[in-house]
Structure 1
Amino acid sequence: MSRPPRFPAKGTPRAESVVLRTARGRSVASQRWLARQLNDPYVQAAQREGWRSRAAFKLIELDERFHLLTPGARVVDLGAAPGGWAQVAVRRGAAHVVALDLLPIAPIEGVTLIAGDVTDPAMPARLAAALGGPADLVLSDMAPNTTGHAATDHLRIIALAEQALAFAREVLAPGGAFVAKVFQGGTERDLLMPMKRAFRSVRHAKPPASRAESAELYVIAQGYRPSG
């Protein structure tokens, strides 16, 4: 399967300016959020190209840089709703994609959807059965509801990343890769040290599709070593 063109091909796309017709019944915060969404070039591109969310471009950009998705790969997408990352995995040639979330996800062609919790002790075996074998790539775009308190939000997302890492170590094939969202402020030592032992390389990246004001980063671990 041919790979889709790199996005954006010539820098960040320009948004077509959209003006709210009415603010009636909306709070100031709601008006700001809606205006940002309507004028976001990635939101507009996602709508044009049939992606479930603008987050699809984050994975596309990470894949362009780190070559995470390979033809025939087995991929697990944790916290998958609404399904943009799973869509990218399928369109980029993954043979088996399993998407897990507590929230409902509308069907996606080529994706097995499982409703459940990553911390369920039975989930690794269940996902391995759905994949037909060990995973080549585990993706986690999971994030907690933010409180506005940076230190608290940082601890919460690190806890989610640690859960995702523990899950990944149960299902990944040797040489596999793991991607998880974290927040700026430094990946906690309790997360980073085990990753460095278990993977050949561990790096951080902020894809261009991440909003400039967002504190999110992604940690990319490649070359899984089960004995690490």
Structure 2
Amino acid sequence: MSNTSRRAWLMQAAALGLGAGFVSPRLASAATLEPSWPMDLGPFYPVEKPLESDADLTRLDGHAKRAQGQVVELTGRILAHDGTPVPRAKIEIWQANSFGRYHHHGDGHDTIQPDPDFQGYALQEADDQGRFRFLTVKPGAYPAGSFMRSPHVHFDVQGRYTRLVTQMYYPNEPLLGQDKVLKHDLFGHTNPMPANIFGALTPGGSTLEPGAALCRFDIVLGDG
């Protein structure tokens, strides 16, 4: 399957909600859900968007090579606080490559390897059930002054009434406890850290690609 055809299939799968990865334990009859944590936009939001912004960040048109790193199928739902889905929410994600470098002119980490085959940013509209799906790689950690940023993915979500900027962190990472940006965003709520900032990672669990990981991350927008 060509790169273009595969990305088109991925986007169609996301729109239709195909695959077991979209089965959500959060039903509309559930108790009120805690809204996701608002977090800083950060310095690496791509004000100048890349030429490609589809749901497959691991392949670029005209590139023979694929993005380096552990491939991750990133899925979830956009929900209101009562557990009902937020249809057609606009979802932007951006992240560092597997080495820890952003595709952004403001990333001055010249000693960190760039990856010209990694898209770095994607834009998707959730389906009628609030579901989304991306194919990406696990981001690398990177230095931020005197400390290291733990692997994370940035989200900017626009629902019907609510916009939320947040970040998803990978669980059980050794750098979580010393990430000062994360501590700032959590206003000291770090012992323990809130469960809803973490993706649920299943190694080898991807429904799109054999051997790839599955990472589930639901986002709660409050009023939706």
Higher relative contact order (CA 8 A, sep 6+): 2
Query: Highest CA radius of gyration, 1 or 2?
Result: 1
TM-score, scaled to structure 1: 0.31
Structure with bigger helix share is 1
